[in-house]
């Protein structure tokens, strides 16, 4: 049986970075492309980074039952389309969801067999520095994300696995170890 891996944690903690490293080590893992109502950032490609939907289309798809989970995060909606996950599981391909904490809680209810991994920063200051250093968001957007992060960090104990992303190579190795153990 193939598996679903939920990677969660605050914005800027390095989820995307660690998933890239993980997929370098375990190439058969595929990443679910989420839907969002937020505007594309420079360089983001529709259908690759996200399915960019306008709010009406997002709501229509919520009502149609197309989402496995969905949440409002920092003023925008985000969700995992069932089709992204089902198509992979049908091919027996393990799938990674990179989602925020509210979505992870919904998956915990609807798919208790999914492996849930929380990524934590070495310190709150590191999170702030990484969000600024990434250079993708306006300062007010960063402040909003850091506000949400306070609650997200308090949820760490809910997760069976948590990894401190201090050093990318070390943390990616720990993540790969968890996935290899589950795939055995």
The footprint of ligand ADP (CB under 6 A) covers 11-17, 130, 133-134, 165, 167-168
Q: Which does 156 bind (CB under 5 to 8 A by kind): ligand ADP, ligand 5GP, none?
A: none
For residue 4, what is the DSSP state? E
Q: How far is the CB of 90 from ligand ADP (least distance, A)?
A: 27
Q: How far is the CB of 184 from ligand 5GP (least distance, A)?
A: 27
Q: 18, 29, 37, 103: which one contacts ligand 5GP (CB under 6 A)? A: 103
| Position of minimal CB gap to ligand 5GP | 103
Please report, for residues 57, 81, 120, 183, the alpha-carbon distance to residue 17 in angstroms, rounded to integers and kept in the order given: 29, 22, 13, 21
Indicate the helix (H) or strand (E) that contains 36: strand 35-36
The interface with ligand 5GP within residues 71-90 (CB under 6 A) comprises 71, 73, 78-80
Q: DSSP for 91-140, please give it.
A: TT--EEEE--HHHHHHHHHH-TTSEEEEEE-SSHHHHHHHHHHH--S-HH
């Amino acid at each position: 049986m193939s598996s679903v891996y939920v990677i969660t944690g605050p914005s800027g903690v390095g989820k995307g970075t660690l998933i890239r490293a993980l997929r370098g080590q375990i190439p058969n893992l595929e990443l679910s492309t989420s839907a969002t109502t937020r505007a594309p950032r420079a360089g983001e490609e529709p259908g690759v980074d996200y399915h960019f939907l306008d709010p009406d289309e997002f709501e229509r798809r919520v009502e149609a039952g197309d989402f496995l989970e969905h949440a409002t995060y920092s003023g925008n909606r985000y969700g995992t389309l069932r089709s992204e996950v089902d198509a992979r599981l049908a091919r027996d391909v393990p799938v990674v969801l990179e989602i925020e904490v509210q979505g992870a809680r919904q998956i915990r209810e609807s798919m208790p067999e999914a492996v849930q991994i929380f990524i934590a920063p070495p310190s709150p200051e590191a999170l702030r520095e990484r969000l600024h250093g990434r250079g993708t968001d306006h300062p007010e957007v960063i402040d909003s994300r850091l506000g949400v992060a306070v609650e997200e960090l308090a949820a760490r104990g809910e997760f069976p696995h948590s990894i401190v992303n201090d050093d990318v190579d070390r943390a990616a190795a720990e993540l790969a170890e968890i996935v290899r153990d589950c795939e055995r």
